[in-house]
Each structure stands twice: as structure tokens, then as C-alpha cells.
Structure 1
Amino acid sequence: MAKIQMKTPLVEMDGDEMTRIMWKLIKENLLEPYIDLKTEYYDLGLKHRDETQDQVTIDAANATKRLGVAVKCATITPNATRVKEYNLHQMWKSPNGTIRAILDGTVFRTPIIVKGIEPVVTTWKKPITIARHAYGDVYRDVEMRIPGPGKVELVYTPEKGEEQRVLIHDFDEPGVVEGMHNLDASIESFARSCFSFGLQNKRDVWFASKDTISKIYDYRFKDIFQEIYNKEYKADFEKNGLTYFYTLIDDAVARIMKSEGGFVWTCKNYDGDVMSDMLSSAFGSLALMTSVLVSPHGYYEYEAAHGTVQRHYYRYLKGEETSTNSVATIFAWTGALRKRAELDGLKNLAAFADKLEKATLATIESGRMTGDLTRITKLPNPQKLSTEKFIKAIREELDKRM
């Protein structure tokens, strides 16, 4: 069978540890036998990021702006332990944070529904998509250790006009302080991405923050969302029978636990980070969740929502067998291929992405799965497969469909 041809390359961002091992297996077994795969490759492994002073991350993000679609492997965000382990020059920032700031997008994460893996929240009948703002807050913060008594102030020095000062705290003992920021333009892009996603997927949009406590910072989000909705989206939402509403984050959590799902839950950066992990685990597994960054400028970056599976990687290095779930990484590839196909008008490439996803789900539904799923499935007598054997089992299912 002739390989499916591509017109425009994907930006391919390789990653770290066990997900890097799976990345290679997926390409060799599930992609390259069927597609004349065209990618512009960037190695975002931690060692190479350190060697390039993290320039490779910036280059990969700019390539995404140029080519429009990227697929990214999970990467390490180093802490002090990782700096020592990898002998790094410095504690590099999150590559995801760097990429998201350059692309100016919103991260949408949706559970992958598969028979035999049931949500622990029994009322959930439809997937809930988390829309996470991808700029600012604690991910672009500035922090300081306060050694002893003294005043800490927030100071704004305008290019023209009078300086403004606000007392943060008058310390009489040691402590810590943190400064965060956000931008109106980024919040506006966030709002437009969320409302556009809701319209495209015919889903209600919820937005939640804590404006009762954060009366300026969070209230600015609330105001901008309402202004943009009223001016640009309200008529289309009502025409399609869709709703938008704002509520407090604690109220949203309570409502969601009793809902049927099927909507977009829009969150600020940190809230979205935490709540997407809660949702993925409650729906089944961190490895059963899609993740795509959508920029209002027309850029798309697909990735797995989980980390590099460090514990399995150390076992892999010892020569021990692992059973690591590759579904989210496979769906990152299929999402990117489908979007590339849509933009380039390649129906056969889009059909291939659909077939690979169906083959992946069919493999699990046949009882063949990785260890994390055998512990939660309701299917009788599940067969636990190793990392590589699971991918090869998907290859068998895919061959039937091709």
C-alpha cells in the first residue's frame, strides 16, 4: 500500500524520559509504516535544552507560528533535584510555559472516553473539557524570600504620570512574597478562544474565578469575558441554544460534581492546571486525556496532558519491563495530523487519524491494555501488556482498518 502523502510538515517537539521512548515506538509502529511523515524536528529533551540555553524551545514555538501545527512530547520542568541529576547550567523554566506565552493560546483538555473505563462521578455522562488560560499568574511570577522585618510594596512607575504604591505587607518576622501579572490582550484572546471552541463544538461555556476575594485581578477576567461575550458571541450562542455563565470557582466545583458534563469549563492558569488532572483521574486516567493549545492567531499545539513518567523510565534503564500508557501521546499525534489534514485538504490523512484513534480504543475495549487501566477497568479478565506490546497490539488493530 502506498504511503499517505503530506504537504506541509508538522513541528515535532521531542521530549524526555519514558514518553521519549514511547514517542519513538509510536512513530516506528503506528505512523511511519503508513504515512510519508514530514516533520520539522526539535529536540526539547532537557539535556539539549540546557546545551542550547533553552533557545531550542523558543525556536520550536516560532516554528509553530510559521507552520501552524505542532505535536509535542512530554518534557521535564527541572527542580533543584533535576538540576543536580542532569548537571544543568540553571533551573530552566517550564518549556510549556515558554511555548504558551509565545503562541498566546488557550489549552483545551478533554477526557478520552473508552468502554470499560467508567467515570468515578456517576452523574457524568459526557466529557467535560477544561479550557486553561496559558499565560501569566504563578507561571510568570516573581518571588522573594523576606529575611526579617520590613515593608513590601507593589510599585507602578508609569512612563508618564505619578508613581503608584500599594502596601503588600508590613513584615515583623521572616516570610515570603509573590508577585503575579496578566495582560488584557491575553485575557481577551483567552475569552475568544473559549467562546469559539464552545461554538465549534456546540457546548455551553462556564467561567469561574474568585472575584469576591480578588476584586481587581480576577474581576478583570470576569469583566473582559462578559464584554467580549456580549459584543461578539451572544447572538451566535443563543441561535445555537448555547449558554455562557460566570460563577465562583468553589461554586463551579460543587456544580460540576452533580452535572452530566458535556460543557467547557473555563479556568485561569493555575485552576486549569489542577482541575484538568482532577477531571482526567475522575474520568479514568491522566493518560486518557487529549490536550491542545489553540491560539486565536491560528496556531495549534497538541500534546499529552501528563508528565514524562519518570518512575517507569528508571525501571526501563534497569532493563525491567514497563507497562506505560501511550494513549494520550498517540492522540496528540492524531490530533496534529487531523488538523494538518484539515488545513491542507488531505482527506486520506484525516481518515488515517480517525482509524488510529479507533484502533487504539478498540485495543483497550478488547481487554488488552496497560497496567494502569487493568486496575480500574470494569472489563472482565483484562490482559496487561508491556509498553511496547500495547503499541504493537494497536498496530494489529490498525492493520485491520487499513
Structure 2
Amino acid sequence: MEKIKMITPLVEMDGDEMTRVLWKMIKDELICPYVDLKTEYYDLGLENRNATDDQVTVDSANATKKYGVAVKCATITPNAARVKEYDLKEMWKSPNGTIRAILDGTVFRTPIIVKGIEPCVRSWKKPITIARHAYGDVYKNAELVIPGAGRAELVFTGEDGAQLRETIFDFKGPGVLQGMHNLDRSIESFARSCFNFALDSKQDLWFATKDTISKKYDHTFKDIFQEIFDTEYREKFEQAGITYFYTLIDDAVARVMKSEGGFIWACKNYDGDVMSDMVSSAFGSLAMMTSVLVSPDGKYEYEAAHGTVQRHYYKHLKGEETSTNSVATIFAWTGALRKRGELDGIQELCTFADRLEQAVIATIESGCMTKDLALITSLEQVTVQNSEEFIKAVRSTYERMQ
């Protein structure tokens, strides 16, 4: 069979640990045999980020702005233990946070639904899409370890030299301090991305913050969303028969547990990080969640919503067998290839991505799956496969479908 030709390369961002191992398996077994793959490769493994002073992360984000579509492997955001383990020069920032800050936009995460994997929340009948703001907050924070007694102040100095000043806290002893920021233009992009996505998918949109406590920071999010909705989208939503409403984040958590699903839940950056893990886990597995960053000017970065699967990687290094779920990473590749095909007018590439996703779902529904799914499936007589076996089973299913 002749391989599908590509015109424009994907930006390929390699990653860390077990997902890096799966990344190569997926390319070797599921992509390269069928697609004449063109990528501009960036190694975002922690060692290379450290060696380049994290410049490689910036370069990969700028390449995404150039080419329009990227696919990213899971990466490590180092903590103190990782600094020691990898002998890092410093505790590098989240690569996802860096990329999101450069691209701007919104991350949309949706569970992958398969028969036999029922949600833990019995009322959920349809997928819940988490729309996560992709700029600022704790991912672009400034932090201090406070050595002792003293006054902490929040100070803004304007270009004209005028200052705004607010006392944060009078420390009586050691502690910690954190400063966060966001931008009106980024919040506006977030709002429009969410409203447009809701209209495209014809789903209701929820938005939730904690404006009763954060009366300026979170309230600004609420006000910008409401103003844009009222002036640009209210009539469009009414015509589409969908709704938008704002509620507090704690109220949204209570509401979502009693809902049937089938809507978009917009969250600030960290809230979206946490809630997407909650939703994906409740639907079955952290490895069963698609994730795409969409910038205001139509750039796309696809990735898995989960981490690097550190525990499995250490087993892998010892030569022990692992049964790591690769579904979300496969769907990152299919999402990127489909979008590349759409933008370049290559229908064969779109069809390939659709069929490969169908093969993944069919493989699981036939009873062949990794251990995490086997532990929760309602299917009987399932076959638990290791990491490599599952990927090869997907290839067999795909080839039978041709």
C-alpha cells in the first residue's frame, strides 16, 4: 500500500519517561507504516530542556505558530526531587505552561467513550468537555520563600511612575509567597474560544470561578465573559438553542455530579488542570482523554491529558513488563494528523486518522485492553495486554478494517 503523502510538516514534541517509550512504538507501528510522515522534531525530554536552558520549549512553540499544527508527548514538570534526580540547573517551568503562554488560547479536553467502560458517576451519559484557560495563573507565577518576619506587599509601578500598593501579609515568621497574573486580552481570547467551540459543537457552556472570594482577579474573568457573551454571542446562542451560564466553582462541581453530561465546562488554568483529571478518571482512565490547545488565530497543539507514567517507566528500565494505556497518546497523533489533513486539503490523511481511532475503540470493545481498563470494564473474558501488545493489536484491527 502506498503511503499517504504530507505537504506541511507537523511540529513533533517528544517527551519523557514511559510516554516517550510509547511515542516511538506508536510511530513505528501505527503511523509510519501508512503515512509518509513529515515532522519538525523537538526533543522536550527533561535532559534536553536542561541542556538548552529550556530554549527548545520556546522554539517548539514558535514552530507551532509557523506550521499551525503540533503533536506533543507528555513531559515532566520538575519538582525538588526531579531537580536532584536529573541534576538540573534549575527547577524549570511547566513546558505546557510555556507553550500555552506563547500560543495563547484554550485547551479543550474530552473523554474517549468506549462500550464496556462505564462512568463512575452513574448519571453521566454523554462526554463532558473541559475548556481550560491556557495562560497565566500559577503556571506563570513568581514565588518567594520568606525567611522571617516582615511585610509582604503587592506593588504595581505604572510607566508614568505612579504606584498601586496593597499589603498582602505581615509575616511574624518564615513562610511562602506567590504572585500570579493574567491579561484581559488572554481572558477575552479564552471567552471567545469557548463560545465558538460551544456553537460549533452545539453544546451548552458553563463557566465557573470563585469571584465571591477573589473579588478582583476572578471577578474580572466573570465580567469579561459576560460582556462578550452579551455583546457578541447571546443572539447566536439563542438561535442555536444552547445556553451559557456562570456559577461558582464549588457549585459547578456539585452540579456536574448530578448532570447527564454533554456540555462544555470552562475553567481557569489550574481549575481546568484538576477538573479534567477528575472528569477523565471518572469516565474511565486518565489515559482516555483527548486534549487540544487552540489559539485565537487557529493554531493547534494536540497532546495526551495525562503525565509521563513515572512508575511504569521505572519498571520498564528494570526490564519488567508494563501495561501502559496509550490511547490518549494515539489520539493526540490522530487529532494532529486529521487537522493537518483538513488544513492542507488531504482527505486521505483525515480518513486515516478517523479509521485509526475507530481501530483503537474496536480493539478495546473486542476485549483487548491494558490493565487499567481491564480492572474497570464490564466486558467479560477480556485479554489484558502489555504496552506493546496493545499497540500491535490496534494495528491488526486497523489492517482488518481496510
Which category of TM-score, normalised to the shorter sequence, fits these structures? over 0.9
In structure 2, the partner of 1:213 is 213
Residue 329 of structure 2 is aligned to residue 338 of structure 1: no
In structure 1, the partner of 2:288 is 288
The change in CA–CA distance for 1:216 and 1:286 in structure 2 (over 3 A counts) is same
In structure 1, the partner of 2:5 is 5
Q: Which runs of 5+ in 2 are unaligned?
A: none
TM-score, normalisation: structure 1: 0.99
TM-score, normalisation: structure 2: 0.99
- Distance of 2:385 and 2:165 partners within structure 1: 61
Question: In structure 2, the residue corresponding to 1:290 is in which secondary structure?
Answer: strand
- Distance of 1:329 and 1:260 partners within structure 2: 27
Q: Which runs of 5+ in 1 are unaligned?
A: none
CA shift for structure 1 position 298 = 1.1
Query: Which residue identity lines up with residue 163 of structure 1 in the other structure?
Result: Q
CA shift for structure 1 position 194 = 0.7
- Distance of 2:265 and 2:126 partners within structure 1: 13
In structure 2, the partner of 1:236 is 236
Deviations 1:62-81 (A, max 9, x none): 00000000000001111121
1:315-330 equivalences in 2 (<5 Å): 315-330=315-330
Question: In structure 2, the residue corresponding to 1:211 is in which secondary structure?
Answer: coil
CA shift for structure 1 position 175 = 2.1
CA shift for structure 1 position 146 = 2.1
Deviations 1:20-65 (A, max 9, x none): 1100010111011111111111111111111111111111000000
CA shift for structure 1 position 138 = 1.1
Query: Which residue identity lines up with residue 183 of structure 2 in the other structure?
Result: L
In structure 2, the partner of 1:300 is 300
In structure 2, the partner of 1:181 is 181
In structure 2, the partner of 1:266 is 266
The CA RMSD measured in Å over matched residues stands at: 0.9
In structure 1, the partner of 2:159 is 159
Which sits farther off after the overlay, 141-150 or 341-350? 141-150
Query: Which residue identity lines up with residue 102 of structure 1 in the other structure?
Result: I
In structure 1, the partner of 2:91 is 91
Query: Which residue identity lines up with residue 54 of structure 1 in the other structure?
Result: D
- Distance of 1:53 and 1:169 partners within structure 2: 34
Question: In structure 2, the residue corresponding to 1:329 is in which secondary structure?
Answer: helix
In structure 2, the partner of 1:34 is 34
Deviations 1:127-182 (A, max 9, x none): 00000111111111112222222211111111126322111112223222211111
Query: Which residue identity lines up with residue 387 of structure 1 in the other structure?
Result: S
Residue 365 of structure 2 is aligned to residue 368 of structure 1: no
- Distance of 1:162 and 1:58 partners within structure 2: 33
Query: Which residue identity lines up with residue 276 of structure 1 in the other structure?
Result: S
- Distance of 1:65 and 1:352 partners within structure 2: 25
Deviations 1:286-328 (A, max 9, x none): 0000000011111100000001111111111111111100000
CA shift for structure 1 position 96 = 0.5
- Distance of 2:94 and 2:110 partners within structure 1: 22
Query: Which residue identity lines up with residue 360 of structure 2 in the other structure?
Result: T
- Distance of 1:51 and 1:174 partners within structure 2: 34
- Distance of 2:185 and 2:208 partners within structure 1: 19
- Distance of 1:19 and 1:150 partners within structure 2: 45
Question: In structure 2, the residue corresponding to 1:170 is in which secondary structure?
Answer: strand
- Distance of 1:78 and 1:145 partners within structure 2: 18
- Distance of 2:50 and 2:171 partners within structure 1: 38
Question: In structure 2, the residue corresponding to 1:205 is in which secondary structure?
Answer: strand
- Distance of 2:175 and 2:400 partners within structure 1: 62
Which sits farther off after the overlay, 298-307 or 49-58? 49-58
- Distance of 1:142 and 1:317 partners within structure 2: 36
Query: Which residue identity lines up with residue 138 of structure 2 in the other structure?
Result: V
- Distance of 1:20 and 1:173 partners within structure 2: 44
Q: Percent identity?
A: 73
Which sits farther off after the overlay, 85-94 or 315-324? 85-94
- Distance of 1:156 and 1:291 partners within structure 2: 36
Query: Which residue identity lines up with residue 36 of structure 1 in the other structure?
Result: D
1:192-203 equivalences in 2 (<5 Å): 192-203=192-203
In structure 2, the partner of 1:253 is 253
Residue 115 of structure 2 is aligned to residue 115 of structure 1: yes
Which sits farther off after the overlay, 205-214 or 157-166? 157-166
- Distance of 1:82 and 1:104 partners within structure 2: 28
In structure 2, the partner of 1:22 is 22
Question: In structure 1, the residue corresponding to 2:5 is in which secondary structure?
Answer: coil
In structure 1, the partner of 2:125 is 125
- Distance of 2:164 and 2:373 partners within structure 1: 55
Question: In structure 1, the residue corresponding to 2:359 is in which secondary structure?
Answer: helix
- Distance of 1:296 and 1:12 partners within structure 2: 21
- Distance of 1:72 and 1:163 partners within structure 2: 42
- Distance of 2:282 and 2:17 partners within structure 1: 26
Query: Which residue identity lines up with residue 48 of structure 2 in the other structure?
Result: H
Query: Which residue identity lines up with residue 47 of structure 1 in the other structure?
Result: E
The change in CA–CA distance for 1:89 and 1:149 in structure 2 (over 3 A counts) is closer
Residue 307 of structure 2 is aligned to residue 310 of structure 1: no
In structure 1, the partner of 2:390 is 390
CA shift for structure 1 position 114 = 0.4
- Distance of 2:234 and 2:341 partners within structure 1: 31
